[in-house]
Structure 1
């Protein structure tokens, strides 16, 4: 049976980097490549950490990493972007001097286009950050759309309010869409099958003290220890009021690839606000683009699945 072909594009936050490790541990997934966009991160440490994670968790897979040269309309806060430096410095990722996972010279959007063209069957895209590299790839190589099975994206809110507190914004958007609203609108104009994990879903998987302690008690398993060490970098006081709880936004989205019965999906018609005080908002609207969103989450099943997945890594 063929493995699911996946290309991952992430924006270097703690949750993104833990998600990369999770994808590498999925036995039914073949990871074709990784693009890193400077969203919730500084680019250099996020690229470095990605390559090290591939070395540690990739079982010798020759997975290429590409750095994005995309830029934000609305950048993430500096305090959040610093976390990539901390992950990159973790002892587990630094037992050898330099990462060996290949770093390509081409920018991430062109790397994505090349990998889609080279694939012998359709590819699932996992995007846990902004959609800019996908938008640019479609512009540079429109033919690649036919090679995309679906887009699994952490983005949108669908609960009325978002997690943006910025001047001149009404607070209805979510960060991955807000970073580059025009890119989200571009992707919405494509024919790609979109499966979104919005705040409506991710709010159901907070990183609580009880969850933290449960994984701490399992730290004899190296991958669980790695994940718990990463999430320990995200105490509530780091975040402004709208983000005063850390949720496992990207890891929940990533769990979709595993096929476990975790999320209930709903089909919605919606549009993207590309400009103005609601820019980045993805709003339900009759007669507009139809996507599927994760709506109801079995949080216990999610944490059980991830715990089991991370335990499969033996080092």
Structure 2
């Protein structure tokens, strides 16, 4: 039985990740929390609670709202889709929300639930590392009960996706949001698996994938996935939307979907390369996902989504 705490930053890919995570077999999810990074936090928490209501299989879950703030905020235009996702009729048909919101902010909720777990916890984070870094700063012994961290973030061998004034474009956004938080986690003794742009770039959101989900609308979870991704389109030149967070989430349960290797890495915390993660001889070891078995990955999404209403 795997024990998981999930911290996400509320955009479409994060919410689809939550939906799929809820379907993992032999898994005890001890906590869910959301931070307003690539989203606005209020609709992110609201949509998370509704997804758990509709597709969850545990009766003890609650959703914690983060009060963490950015060093560098995501573009507003990227963050707005969470409002629309939260308004989908399928999530609001019942007219009520029963999954509670946690009393404590996300970093303290994470700290409390991980330390109280009888089993070591797999931490899955598909947004910035700020809440985990804050939990470590409050009580460094939290790391004693973390089996492994799976993080969607960084860019080791390819360009970043930050295009902001004064930045050189070498960083990935989850790292750029709070570079010091990445450094705090990197300086800890937590075992880390990094699912960075190097591998997520291998699973783009394509018209064929949208059509694949459209043809399976009879499954409510797949219908929600298709509606969710209908909100995201990349209109900038040479820009593509990828399944960044879904890949990270599925790898935490199904490592056979990818190929990985051990590398030594570090992070730059300030200056024009702030948030850049890079390979070096003098950093710390992480498991680095290098490639994806894409067909198996997409099949696993469908398999889990079909399981949601069983």
Which TM-score tier does this pair reach, normalised by the shorter chain? over 0.9
Tell me the alpha carbon deviations over residues 186-214 of structure 1, each in whole angstroms, 9 at most, x when there is no partner.
Answer: 10000000001000000000010011101
Matched residues, number: 310
| 2-structure distance, mates of 1:264, 1:112 | 29
Measure, in 1, the Cα distance between the counterparts of 2:130 and 2:237. Answer: 27
State the shift of 1:288 in Å: 1.3
Other-structure match for 2:269: 274
CA contact (8 A) 2:154 2:172 kept: yes
Residue in 2 that maps onto 1:57: 55
| 8 Å CA contact retained: 1:260, 1:305 | no
Distance 1:89 1:135 in 2: 32
C-alpha contact (below 8 Å) 2:260/2:291 kept by paired residues: yes
Distance 1:189 1:263 in 2: 26
Are 2:281 and 1:286 equivalent residues in the alignment?
yes
Extract unaligned runs of 5+ from structure 1.
none
Which digits, 9 at most, give the CA deviation of each residue in 1:149-199, with x for residues without a partner? Answer: 000000001123100100110000000000000000110000000001000
Q: In 1, distance between residues paired with 2:104 and 2:140?
A: 18
Q: Where do 1:125-164 residues align within 5 Å?
A: 125-164=123-162
Matched, 1:302 2:300: no
- What SS class does the counterpart of residue 258 from structure 1 fall into? coil
Q: Check whether the contact 2:158–2:198 (CA below 8 A) recurs between aligned residues.
A: no
* Separation (CA, whole Å) in 1 of partners of 2:157 and 2:280: 14
1:52 to partner: Cα distance:
0.4
TM superposition shift of 1:97: 2.2
Q: Is the 8 A contact 1:72 1:180 kept in 2?
A: yes
Corresponding residue of 2:102: 104
2:309 is the alignment partner of 1:311: no
Deviation of 1:241 after TM superposition, in Å, equals 4.2
Alignment check: 8 A CA contact 2:268 2:274 kept: yes
Residue 267 of structure 1 aligns to a residue whose secondary structure is strand
Q: Distance in 2 between matches of 1:29 and 1:154?
A: 20
TM-score, normalised relative to structure 1: 0.96
Match of 2:181 in 1: 183
Q: TM-score, normalised by structure 2?
A: 0.98
| Structure 1 residue 60, shift from structure 2 partner | 4.5
